[in-house]
Amino acid sequence: MIEVGIAFQSAGLKYYGCRNEQAASYAAGAVGYLTQRPGVCLVVSGPGVIHALAGLANAKENCWPMLLLGGANDSLQDGMMAFQEEDQLRAVRQYCKFAARPPTIDQFPFFLDRAIRIAVSGRPGPVYLDLPGDMVNSAPSAAAEDAQLPSFYPTPVSMADPRELERAVQLLKGACVRAGSLVGWLVRLCVWTLTHHTFDWLAGWLAGRAAAAARKGAWPHK
């Protein structure tokens, strides 16, 4: 990954070296938190990627966009106990939104575009790209340099249009007013019904008691 770091600096990108990958991953997550744009962390293979898991998990739990670029052994050496070989994709998947290894250098722009879009869309979070040594040291084909690779997909809209939200609020307010008027009318109707029924029942009860008392001679008949 030394070649990638040198290329970053040659391209004019801000490059900050850290003594340990864990500190570098935390710093990249902090950049994502402060800018709402993915902070990029560059680490070596094997232990370097494992050390960076702390910052990756921290960025995921706090919804901070971040891009972790991890070096890896040459593709042809997979499973052959290469130097610092590790199943890095399996190790990082539970701590990020997206993890992939571009098959060729020609396809790297496509995967980078996809990773960045996923990192900043919806619930922001970290993403990971695996960079095998043979891909890092290869050159893109002439056709790939001239070709315009299509974007993975448009960044999805994660928030509603404020104008539509205001319209929805006004509709709800109107519905509440109408519902309140209807409820008030129903309450008044219930009170009126209960009151009149109560009076009718009380009058009937009193008339019944008076008739009973008269039959017993409590009240004289005239």
Break the chain into its structural domains and give their ranges: 2-146, 160-222
Give, in degrees to the nearest 5, the angle at Cα 113 between 108 and 115. 95
Would the pLDDT of 122 be above 80? yes
Which comes out higher in pLDDT, residue 94 or 185?
Answer: 94
User: Taking residues 181-198, what's their average pLDDT?
Assistant: 60
- What is the rounded end-to-end Cα distance, in angstroms, of the chain? 119
Q: Name which of 1-15, 120-134, 206-220 the model is least confident about.
A: 206-220
For 75, 85, 133, 143, the CA distances from 44, given in Å and listed in that order, are: 15, 11, 10, 30
- Give the whole-angstrom CA distance, residue 163 versus residue 109: 36
pTM over 0.75: no
Which comes out higher in pLDDT, residue 55 or 140?
Answer: 55
Looking at residue 30, what is its pLDDT? Answer: 93
Q: 3-state DSSP call for residue 100?
A: strand
Looking at residue 163, what is its pLDDT? Answer: 82
Domain 2-146 in CATH: superfamily?
Thiamin diphosphate (ThDP)-binding fold, Pyr/PP domains (3.40.50.970)
Query: 4 falls in which pLDDT band (50, 70, 90)?
Result: confident
What percent of the chain is modeled with pLDDT above 90?
23
Would the pLDDT of 16 be above 70? yes
Biggest CA pair distance of the chain: 124
Q: Name which of 106-110, 168-172, 197-201 the model is least confident about.
A: 197-201
Would the pLDDT of 206 be above 60? no
Q: What pLDDT, in 10s, does the model give residues 18-53?
A: 888 899 999 999 999 999 899 999 998 888 889 999
The strand pairing partners of 126, in sequence order, are: 66
